[in-house]
Amino acid sequence: MSVTAQVVQNFTSSQSSLQPVPVALAAGDGIGPEISQAVCRILDAAGSRASFVPITVGERSYLDGVSSGVSPEAWATLREHRVLLKGPISTPQGGGYKSVNVTLRKSLGLFANIRPCRSWHPWVATRHPDMDVLIVRENEEDTYAGIEHRQTAEVTQCLKLITQPGSERVIRYAFELARAQGRRKVHCFTKDNIMKITDGLFHQTFDRIAAEYPDIESSHLIIDIGTALLADRPEMFDLIVAPNLYGDIISDVAAQITGSVGLGGSANIGPEFAMFEAVHGSAPDIAGQDIANPSGMLLAAVDMLRYIGDTSTASRIHAAWRKTLAEGLHTADIHRAGHSRKRLGTQAFADAIIERL
């Protein structure tokens, strides 16, 4: 049985088939509350089994004096229900508090971040109509381990942490996912020509695990040319596995070239917990204007429904979302004159999906 199927089965076998499933919900910062509202309205209208238990993390939590950004009550809810749907959370740049996203991923043991990036041609305008790439990002190690300090007033240092067990776990997960989804090619991106020991270990582990999957083509690219090729010819990639930082960057690139970063959803998976969120951030530049695209968070929620075993509702919502796009009803980020039929705000886009359920 694949790792993904095992994780899903472990969760769903602990649920009885028609009962509501409690899911922690963190609305997030910036555009988080408005896209969360849109997504929850769609799931409720579809009669999904998810029963949301709100928790507060991020900016509001800091304002309440919780220094980690996650209160003891929020941790208790997460540990009890084990599944989280999360809006994007702001993290100050160059100082201030530590990223709540990183804290959640590390504390909950969410070792793999799965970010599907595919085109929705011909409905959403893109230069790459045949693109369908799955990015599997290592989610706990690398420079995201947050081991950083000031040596002197003029010298700073950040430690890049790559372990053999951590690399093996996410790379094996990537190959199992490729097999489960019938994907034929797995690429690994690192910079092991320069970081010979750390990225070298990730690459060596990739080559060793790849040998166990002779049915799947495997190949390594140095991150610079890998990213350039992904931006220029994304059709040549099927699944890419990468250390944390590279995976973060290439998934924004990939999501953007499908039409908008607002279309990307993602799943953070670990042996006991799962967290579903959009690829993008809290977009403070458009917060509160009812123009954000809720699709990334909605696609994450659809994956969450599959994870809790509510596959029929997941398929119905996905079909209604596709129909909305196909009819040219688009949010501002994917609206193109001559291609789209109508520009809709966040809540009107959600209403259009609900009408098509």
**Cα separation of 144 and 160, whole Å?**
8
Q: Are 130 and 119 in contact (CB under 8 A)?
A: yes
Q: Output phi, psi for 206, to 5 deg.
A: -60, -50
* Token pair 């942490």: residue: 161
Please report how close the Cβ of residue 90 comes to ligand NAD at its closest, in angstroms. Answer: 4
Q: Are 23 and 51 in contact (CB under 8 A)?
A: yes
> Collapsing DSSP states into helix, strand and coil, what is residue 113?
strand
Q: Which is nearer to ligand NAD, 188 or 263 (CB)?
A: 263
For residue 215, state whether it binds ligand NAD (rule: CB under 6 A).
no
For residue 282, state whether it binds ligand NAD (rule: CB under 6 A).
yes
For residue 239, state whether it binds ligand NAD (rule: CB under 6 A).
no
Tokens of 114: 């799965």
Q: Are 241 and 221 in contact (CB under 8 A)?
A: no
Q: Which is nearer to ligand NAD, 178 or 230 (CB)?
A: 230
For residue 69, state whether it binds ligand NAD (rule: CB under 6 A).
no
Residue from the set 40, 283, 325, 350 that interacts with ligand NAD by CB under 6 A: 283
- 246: Cβ–Cβ under 8 A, 6 or more apart, which residues? 137, 189, 190, 191, 223, 227
**Cα separation of 198 and 146, whole Å?**
16
For residue 226, state whether it binds ligand NAD (rule: CB under 6 A).
no
Q: Which is nearer to ligand NAD, 284 or 288 (CB)?
A: 284
Q: Which span (2-10, 102-110, 177-185, 278-286) binds ligand NAD, by CB under 6 A? A: 278-286
Residue from the set 257, 333, 335, 351 that interacts with ligand NAD by CB under 6 A: 333
For residue 277, state whether it binds ligand NAD (rule: CB under 6 A).
yes
Residue from the set 286, 298, 299, 304 that interacts with ligand NAD by CB under 6 A: 286
Residue from the set 296, 310, 321, 340 that interacts with ligand NAD by CB under 6 A: 296
**Cα separation of 242 and 171, whole Å?**
8
Q: Which is nearer to ligand NAD, 130 or 148 (CB)?
A: 148
Task: Give the torsion sign (CA, 42, 43, 44, 46).
Answer: positive
Considering only residues 85 through 114, tell me which ones interact with ligand NAD, judged by CB under 6 A. Answer: 88-91, 101
Considering only residues 18 through 37, tell me which ones interact with ligand NAD, judged by CB under 6 A. Answer: 31
- What's the Cα-to-Cα distance from 224 to each of 150, 203, 285, rounded to whole Å? 28, 15, 29
- 192: Cβ–Cβ under 8 A, 6 or more apart, which residues? 199, 200, 202, 203, 222
For residue 261, state whether it binds ligand NAD (rule: CB under 6 A).
yes
Q: Which span (149-157, 192-200, 217-225, 289-297) binds ligand NAD, by CB under 6 A? A: 289-297
Q: Which residue is nearest to ligand NAD (CB)?
A: 281
Q: Are 215 and 179 in contact (CB under 8 A)?
A: yes
Please report how close the Cβ of residue 348 comes to ligand NAD at its closest, in angstroms. Answer: 14
The one-letter amino acid at 185: K
Please report how close the Cβ of residue 282 comes to ligand NAD at its closest, in angstroms. Answer: 4
Q: Which is nearer to ligand NAD, 247 or 309 (CB)?
A: 247
Q: Which of 143, 1, 42, 11 is nearest to 351 (CA)?
A: 42
Q: Which is nearer to ligand NAD, 166 or 281 (CB)?
A: 281
- Give residues in contact with ligand NAD (CB under 6 A): 31, 88-91, 101, 261-262, 277, 280-286, 292-293, 296, 333
